[in-house]
Amino acid sequence: MELRPILSTLRRHKTASALIVLEIALSCAIICNAMFLIGGRLERMDRPTGQAEDEIVRIQITGIGQDDNAAALTATDLAALRALPGVKSASVTNQLTFGGSSWNSGVNLTQEQTQVNLSSSTYLGDEKLPETLGLQLVSGRFFTADEMVDWDAFSAPGANLAVPVSIITRDMAEALWPGEDPLGKTYYSWGEGGTRVVGVVDKLARPNEMGGPAQYYYSSILPLRIPFNVGGNYVLRVDPDRRAETLDAAEQALLRNGPNRIILEKQTLEEMRSDYYRQDRAMSWMLVIVSVLLLVVTALGIVGLASFWVAQRTKQIGVRRALGATRGQVLRYFQLENFVLATAGIVLGMMLAYGLNQLMMERAELPRLPAIYLPVGALVLWLLGQLSVFGPARRAAAVPPAVATRSV
């Protein structure tokens, strides 16, 4: 079939053709951006934390009233937790990934700076914390017991104590000292004097989204031995198959050791991840549903128009059959006609997709739409068009040549 008869037919049905082109264009623009947003949400939800997620459980606890012996109670708590069956390691920390807390600290390379180099999420804990979190050490070492600083002494009025050492992430090290070995280097953040880097871990995710994706792994660990009423998070690394029973046993152990306390939460880190990304999952599903409904509406529009045109051109099709056109040629005619309409709609839709993305970049601070989503969206709509027109095209191909001899 030549393209000229198809274009001639479409010019005679300008309104219907324009409506289908516009419908496909809008679908293309929305589908491309929806796929981009869904992909971004899935990538965000799948980010690794750098921790042994399938082994970590958290018990969040708070005291009732003032507890002047919190440090001693914390020490006996940890001894009891570490003695539980199935517990590999236990510690207490001020925050945990997916907890949503915001212990952030400005980091300077010199004491004289007035503007920080970056903002780091600061984890506090004893020498067992890196092991409990299952962090992967890439250079240097973890803390030793003699490097620990007690929180009560550090936070006492007029103490002016230093935090002598720290462990930082690879991303934070590269941001502070690009291309250099960070071990032994000093930065200024907490306390008096500088803090020397003794270890670098591969990743340790923030508990929040401060700084966006680029700063998701700007984290540091300081060797501060904090009591439960400052940290509030007992973290245990346990056998993955015994997480539920270990959580129950740990809760009972803590309440026996200090009954005047309240358990706020007891969760696995995987459950915390699931709760943290609940809105992202809901948004992704909503976009999927909207995209599917839009594709269904577009397909129905193509089917309706093709069926209408087949009904209108039954005699014309019969004439073509009588002149020797085969069923395959009639079928290809309608498929090519749809391909022409879909191509026009896709070209317009790509321009609309780019414009919609520019609007979202300005209004919602979203990143630029990667070019790969445009051909993917085009392919989806080309396939949808061909599948949608196939039924009406088959009915057209089945029109017998005898129809040409009937009166209108």
Listing DSSP states for 98-152 in one string gives TS----EEEEBSSTT-SS-SEEEEEEE--TTHHHHHT--EEEE----GGG-EEHH
User: Domain boundary at 207, 222, 237, which?
Assistant: 222
Whole-angstrom Cα distance, residue 285 to residue 37?
11
Same domain, 378 and 285: yes
The answer to whether residue 307 is domain-embedded is yes
pLDDT of residue 126: 94
Same domain, 206 and 318: no
Same domain, 290 and 397: yes
Same domain, 391 and 302: yes
Q: Residue 404 pLDDT more than 70?
A: no
Same domain, 289 and 381: yes
Instruction: Determine the structural domain holding residue 377 and report its residue range.
Output: 3-46+278-405
pLDDT of residue 2: 64
User: Domain boundary at 204, 222, 240, which?
Assistant: 222
Same domain, 307 and 211: no
Same domain, 213 and 282: no
Band the pLDDT of 364: cuts 50, 70, 90: low
> What does pLDDT average to over the chain?
87
Whole-angstrom Cα distance, residue 52 to residue 135?
7
Write out the two tokens for 162: 């230093």
Q: Average pLDDT of 345-364?
A: 82
Same domain, 325 and 391: yes
For the chain, the domain total comes to: 2
Say which residue, 338 or 85, is predicted with more confidence. 85
pLDDT of residue 408: 45
Residue linked to tokens 């699931």:
274
pLDDT of residue 405: 56
Same domain, 399 and 284: yes
The answer to whether residue 266 is domain-embedded is no
The answer to whether residue 292 is domain-embedded is yes
Same domain, 203 and 310: no
Q: Residue 107 pLDDT more than 90?
A: yes
Whole-angstrom Cα distance, residue 231 to residue 152?
13
* Span 299-337, pLDDT tens digits: 888 888 778 777 776 777 777 777 777 877 777 877 888
Same domain, 290 and 362: yes
* Span 2-25, pLDDT tens digits: 677 777 766 777 777 788 888 888
Q: Average pLDDT of 340-356?
A: 86
Q: Average pLDDT of 134-161?
A: 90
Please give the single-letter amino acid code of residue 286: M
pLDDT of residue 337: 81
The answer to whether residue 185 is domain-embedded is yes
The answer to whether residue 239 is domain-embedded is no
The answer to whether residue 235 is domain-embedded is no
* Span 259-282, pLDDT tens digits: 888 999 999 999 999 999 999 999
Whether this prediction's pTM lies above 0.85 is answered by no
CA angle 120, 123, 124 (to 5 degrees): 135
The answer to whether residue 271 is domain-embedded is no
User: Domain boundary at 202, 222, 242, which?
Assistant: 222
Whole-angstrom Cα distance, residue 334 to residue 269?
56
Same domain, 170 and 282: no
The answer to whether residue 59 is domain-embedded is no
* Span 164-197, pLDDT tens digits: 999 999 999 999 999 999 999 999 998 778 899 9
Q: Average pLDDT of 275-298?
A: 92
